[in-house]
Amino acid sequence: MTNSHRYSFRTFTTVDLDMVEQWLIQPSVARWYPDPDYIEDLEDQLDDENIVMQLVCLDNEPFAFVQDYAIHAWSDHPLSYLPDDARGLDTFIGEPQQLNQGHGTRYLELLIEHLRASGVPALGIDPHPDNLRAIRVYEKLGFNKGRECSTEWGLVQLMSLDLASR
């Protein structure tokens, strides 16, 4: 996937680990990604064919992280009720000055369209129920709330988006 307007996506690599580690300590990110080992998890998953990790760039400057993954690669995933080939999403804006400007909505629109065009039938995302800013963005994009549940990552609000009907 390339760029639209001022947004572009590029593959997340080991070169990006230090930058993303700094993003993870930003209060706006750390509140929702408090696990101190999260950066090691990302590094361990770099070669996992079930996960596509990318940096989102604005005018070629990275400002956000996004990954999409094959939900059914994990049999006990809380979003496993979604259809085969459904993808899960995780994302955060790492640069605090880029918050509250609509970037999340815009880059996720691009990613969603790319995944839909690639034949992905549905998407799932699982923000913390208190992450109202993220939930509002996902609802704006058409995601529907499911149930709340407790996972190994903490309490989550399951949300899904049917791409087959778009």
Q: How many domains does the chain have?
A: 1
Taking the C-alpha atoms of residue 107 and residue 104, their distance in angstroms, rounded to an integer, is 6
The pTM is what?
0.93
- Within a domain: 1: no
CATH code, 91: 3.40.630.30
N-to-C CA span, the chain = 19
Question: How much is the pLDDT for 5?
Answer: 63
| 2 within domain boundaries | no
**pLDDT given for residue 3 in this prediction:** 46
Query: What is the residue-level pLDDT of the chain in tens, covering all 166 positions?
Result: 544 469 999 999 999 999 999 999 999 999 999 888 899 999 999 999 999 999 999 999 999 999 999 999 998 999 999 999 999 999 999 999 999 999 999 999 999 999 999 999 999 999 999 999 999 999 999 999 999 999 888 899 999 999 988 7
What is the residue range of 11's domain? 7-162
Sign of the CA dihedral running 76, 13, 22, 43: positive
The count of residues in the chain is 166
Please report whether residue 53 resides in a domain.
yes
Per-residue confidence (pLDDT) for residue 34, from 0 to 100:
87
